[in-house]
Amino acid sequence: MSAPEDFSRRIEEAIKSPKNLGELEGADAVGTVGNADCGDMLRMWIKFKEENGKRVIDRATFQTFGCETAIAVASVATELIAGKTAEEALAMGGSELSAPLGPLPPVKIHCAQLVEGALRSALSPANIPPSNQAVAPTLLQQFQEQSPKKIVLEPSK
């Protein structure tokens, strides 16, 4: 099997049943990032827990308007970072976050960087509350909090 075929097969396998897809209710942190070049976007939610006196990632989930590679990388990355501290997760780059998928072709490296960017956004100090309180709204909560917009129709002249 050629390298491109092998890569396609690995991505296909990973997106058959992506892990940790969807909003995470009660998340402690959320980060969103977009890639201006391809127009793709990825949001990641993170929930922490206390374990052996350390604050570690309990669960991470994602949503994306992204390509299949971004979905596959986000799926494996959200599994990889579970159990890690924020510092340990932040030490991981795109190639480590996508490692279970094998090497990515050069044109797909930015897809892993999209996942890394969302993770960095979620774990930026501004997005992590000092205590283990759930503060990050879900997309649905954000939508519900917005006051309804009024649309005024102008009579035609």
Question: Which residue has 């971004």 as its token pair?
Answer: 70
Question: Buried (b) or exposed (e) across 75-107, using 16+ Cβ within 10 A?
Answer: bbbbebbbebbbeebeebebeebbbebeebeee
| Strand ranges, E, within the chain | 29-34, 41-51, 54-65
Residues 14-53 that bind ligand FES (CB under 6 A): 35, 38, 40
CB of 34 to ligand FES, least distance (A): 9
Q: CB under 6 A: which stretch of 9-17, 24-32, 66-74, 92-100 binds ligand FES? A: 66-74
Q: Any bridge partners for residue 50, and if so which? A: 55
The amino acid that residue 13 corresponds to is: E
Does residue 38 carry a catalytic annotation? yes
Q: Which of 38, 91, 135, 140 is catalytic?
A: 38
CA distance linking residue 85 with residue 81, whole number of Å: 8
Residue 67 designated active-site: no
Q: Measured from the CB atom, is 28 or 117 closer to ligand FES? A: 117
- How many residues bind ligand FES (CB under 6 A)? The answer is 10
Report d(CA 122, CA 33) in Å as an integer. 9
Binders of ligand FES in range 93-112 (CB under 6 A): 110-111
Among 70, 89, 104, 123, binds ligand FES (CB under 6 A): 70
Q: Name the residues that contact ligand FES, by CB under 6 A.
A: 35, 38, 40, 66-67, 69-70, 110-111, 114
Catalytic residues: 38, 111
